[in-house]
Amino acid sequence: MDPEKIMEDLLKELTTTLKVMSKAKTIEEKMQYSKIIKNLCDSLGVFLNLANDMMGLDFEE
């Protein structure tokens, strides 16, 4: 699967979840959405760290 597509999908899901969380009424709901958001951010961070590591490599050698 294409990493860029995965990152785009994660960002869309993150945006959607943030919007839903802003409408949550109870603390329990907000806590549940905050855990989802943390997992999505952690997943996105994996791809961003990978991209950062790849930028430092010299592929011409």
Enclosing domain of residue 32? 17-53
Residue recorded with tokens 């329990």: 28
Residue 22 located in a structural domain:
yes
Residue 10 located in a structural domain:
no
Residue 41 located in a structural domain:
yes
Closest-CA residue to 53 (of 3, 12, 9) = 3
Better pLDDT: 55 or 21:
21
Helix (H) or strand (E) holding 44: helix 27-55
Question: Each residue of 26-38: b (16+ CB within 10 Å) or e?
Answer: eeeeeeebeeeee
Residue 48 located in a structural domain:
yes
pLDDT tens digit sequence for 9-49: 999 999 999 999 999 999 999 999 999 999 999 999 988 88
